[in-house]
Structure 1
């Protein structure tokens, strides 16, 4: 039976109290962005783990990562998708520990075994299965490229706003949005893989109801797109200037929402929001708050208040059992904004931040800065360096000791995974 749970009016009061500095005794964990920005520190890899490894992904003429790609990790595998269009799309799997190529997964097209997009959904329950969406349903593949069948599904008919999580036979996703009038919503949806709704949870309801399927027409529009701060996180941001048929002139900012699973908890972060939500909580849905102090961007006024150097917002985050790694932008991209990378210790409650260009200094091997953008159930933190990144760093640090993996790289080598554990 379908059910609707609602945290009526809870968000606004808690959010404003926690971020205004009036009362810090609310029942939530506070990530002190404002304080850490006033007292920048050098972040080190040893704060994340005791071991760092460099794992080059196998390179050959038939196994090449394209110019536009994204990646995901499990406890055993690396999944890389070339995210071009049409036949240029490709999904490949590699061994996480050795970088050895395993298989090319499926193919784009119209036949029963083809997918519409090479970007997969991983099975969060630990099954080694990749799910690919197409207009008529879902196709399933094993990590070694075996076709596991298809599912007729209406999921693609829904206007979903977050990347979904799949646990065996249940898909969890979030529907979220805002209007220039300040109305906002965040709703959790749980469906079976056929697209039938199991239940839903209204996590945030502010202002008037918003039709998630409403189509808005723009005129005289200019769109500026930007990658996020953490290298190869895959997150994107945009600013839209123009006129909307319903409200007139607008300057709208949009960004990538993030949903992930940590220790069985489903977390969600809405772009420009200063809260991390525990989407499975029965009481207060806010798990952590980024306290940005005087720099707080009023997310409830998205579309009315422009992002300036007076504001900061969290762009990326990666959570493990005991840590949250995040990035922060002070001001809008490309307008003299300043970037920072931060570390929150969930056990001690301490927050530390450094300039984004410094990253996490590799005090274990003395090599280039580390930027973790993925994690897995083992708690390993994973980042990526390309051959261009490596060459650029070596050119700037000619006296640095060269890690031995560099001598194994071929010309135009595939990316190198950096794993901290």
Structure 2
């Protein structure tokens, strides 16, 4: 576990009032998530997207997609990762298989896992977690590019680091607090450290831990990259988000949010972190100083996906107990509407009256992607055999077989 580049949202509570910050926060765009959680409703595709199209991925013996597939749009391609070791590139328009990218292995060009990395649309390069806290980079042409070792190492576990691209040249890194250092955002250009900025609040690290302190470690599905839960022998618990979900992109903008901090920041190379939005969690807030406690119905956001029209994000409640539940939340920028529904309900397709959607990613250009398993596509046509008003783009999926690769839905 120490050798993987895990991303973790640091444990920080930034008060929304008090001192000079009160005026600043009052000007931020507010997302009333707590009130929406108390008044849950269904989510429909017409709430979220202007159009939907479907791409049936080519199926041959050499390009079978594995279990747990995840799709992301990268420029003219669809990047599909599956299992622990498979990254494949498909044509975004036709679904034609193009090539596999890299491999898992401990050789000089091998990465440790396909998950927890990122794709850079400026360069067309794909970055994967490597070994010993390094990043392995491949081009979309399938060729090994280089290995990047961050010039600032992560602190001792459970202090961790997360990375994502800022532009064609810069990588942004987030470092959680340690006993001796505050949480920080750093910008890198290769081996050069461009800037390091302490996050704008006082906080303490969780402190280094040993196996003797731990009762159990588990990994949960959270609608994002997953979450690690540590149960301590003193009956306390701790949550750490995996992957790099503390960062997300919308167009050329990079956003950042920490756990237990209701403020969303924009990351920039030319100025300090800029607060842009705040989540109003109401009575469902989970302050930093209560992060080890079992908080009933407290909201723990886990993933953000944003384009020019909406923010679609995920959160969990009852993280430390057996009533854990994950939700979809939609924030519509034009009118400030916020809607919340259980993740298992998915997003009802009232656009094409087809299968419900569960977006798993959004590209910097604003294209959401969802996976539709082939067996579900086949079952839908069997259940709707007498239906005559099927849209042409849906009817084209009748060719999909039960053992074919999945269909990728792309939504804008």
- Which range, TM-score by smaller chain? 0.7 to 0.9
Residue 420 of structure 1 and its aligned partner are, at CA, apart by 1.4
SS of 1:35's partner is helix
Alignment partner, residue 225 of structure 1: 219
Cα separation, 1, equivalents of 2:386 and 2:177? 50
Question: Are 1:314 and 1:329, in contact at CA under 8 Å, matched by a contact in 2?
Answer: yes
Question: Are 2:121 and 2:364, in contact at CA under 8 Å, matched by a contact in 1?
Answer: no
Mind listing any 5+ residue stretches in structure 1 that lack a counterpart? 1-9
**Residues 184 and 420 (structure 1), Cα distance of their counterparts in 2 relative to 1, 3 Å cut:** farther
Q: TM-score, normalised by structure 2?
A: 0.80
Cα separation, 1, equivalents of 2:209 and 2:324? 32
Cα separation, 2, equivalents of 1:158 and 1:108? 23
Q: TM-score, normalised by structure 1?
A: 0.78
Alignment partner, residue 27 of structure 1: 27
**Residues 16 and 201 (structure 1), Cα distance of their counterparts in 2 relative to 1, 3 Å cut:** same
- Ranked by relative contact order (alpha carbons within 8 Å, sequence separation 6 or more), the top structure is 2
**Residues 55 and 37 (structure 1), Cα distance of their counterparts in 2 relative to 1, 3 Å cut:** same
SS of 2:16's partner is helix
Cα separation, 2, equivalents of 1:406 and 1:316? 30
Mind listing any 5+ residue stretches in structure 2 that lack a counterpart? 1-11
Residue 24 of structure 1 and its aligned partner are, at CA, apart by 11
- Are 2:327 and 1:340 equivalent residues in the alignment? yes
SS of 1:97's partner is coil
Residue 16 of structure 1 and its aligned partner are, at CA, apart by 7.9
Cα separation, 2, equivalents of 1:155 and 1:284? 21
Alignment partner, residue 306 of structure 1: 294
SS of 2:36's partner is helix
Give the alignment of 1:397-408 within 5 angstroms.
403-408=394-399
Alignment partner, residue 67 of structure 1: 67
How many residues of Structure 1 are paired with residues of Structure 2 in the alignment?
Answer: 387
Question: Are 1:238 and 1:253, in contact at CA under 8 Å, matched by a contact in 2?
Answer: yes
Alignment partner, residue 6 of structure 1: none
Question: Are 1:135 and 1:156, in contact at CA under 8 Å, matched by a contact in 2?
Answer: no
Alignment partner, residue 267 of structure 1: 255
C-alpha RMSD of the superposition? 3.6
Q: Flag the structure with higher strand content.
A: 1
SS of 2:39's partner is coil
**Residues 236 and 25 (structure 1), Cα distance of their counterparts in 2 relative to 1, 3 Å cut:** closer
Cα separation, 2, equivalents of 1:51 and 1:344? 18
Alignment partner, residue 413 of structure 1: 404
- Are 2:236 and 1:250 equivalent residues in the alignment? yes
Question: Are 2:251 and 2:366, in contact at CA under 8 Å, matched by a contact in 1?
Answer: no
Give the alignment of 1:95-110 within 5 angstroms.
95-110=91-106
Alignment partner, residue 228 of structure 2: 238
Residue 44 of structure 1 and its aligned partner are, at CA, apart by 2.1
- Are 2:378 and 1:384 equivalent residues in the alignment? no
Cα separation, 2, equivalents of 1:139 and 1:307? 38
- Are 2:123 and 1:127 equivalent residues in the alignment? yes
Alignment partner, residue 367 of structure 1: 354
